[in-house]
Amino acid sequence: MPTANNVTRLLDSRKVKYTAHDLPAEKLGALKAAQRLNAPPEQVFKTIVTKREKGKPVLVLVPASREVDLKLLAAFLGEKKMHLPAEREAEQMTGLQAGGISPLALINKGFQVAIDSSAEEFEEIYISGGQRGLNIQLGVNDLAKLVNAKIGKVSRREEGDVG
């Protein structure tokens, strides 16, 4: 039976349909997670912590095959500039380990959530389950509603990626 944690209990309590997938507990990265899940990298989303000039950080969900475009994100959120904190700082801000940061685990912590619009190409996407080694597959609309996310174009292809 897959791991149960606060995220799965939250989804159960809200009667949200999902599938939990156990993966190795080390920090895999979204591309490796996609391979383990036998899912296209465009359907496996990583959660990136970003910082505003002032105010609460923003959690940005982008496909494994893409990266956050800080200029697009700033424009989308109406901010002048957005920044990427160091991994350790992201962990301190969220209280979660990198590789296990999930908007579902931070649902009542006041984080704004942005989901890359490419998620709308899928009925369901995979995201972190709030700890390393747990991935949650759920409906894009369910996720957006649960975390009160804004959906927009906030990513670009990884540097060095051709195509």
Split into its structural domains, the chain has a count of: 1
Kindly state whether residue 25 falls inside one of the protein's structural domains: yes
pLDDT beyond 70 at 153: yes
Q: How confident is the model at residue 159 (pLDDT cuts 50, 70, 90)?
A: low
CATH label of the domain that carries residue 17:
3.90.960.10
pLDDT in tens, 113-130: 999 999 999 999 999 999
Kindly state whether residue 1 falls inside one of the protein's structural domains: no
Residue 62, beta-bridge partner list: 46
User: Rounded to two decimals, what is the model's pTM?
Assistant: 0.92
The secondary structure of the chain in percent helix, strand, coil, rounded to multiples of 5, reads 30, 30, 40
Kindly state whether residue 85 falls inside one of the protein's structural domains: yes
Closest C-alpha to 83, from 112, 47, 51: 51
What's the domain range around 29? 6-156
pLDDT in tens, 43-69: 999 999 999 988 889 999 999 999 999
Kindly state whether residue 163 falls inside one of the protein's structural domains: no
Kindly state whether residue 161 falls inside one of the protein's structural domains: no
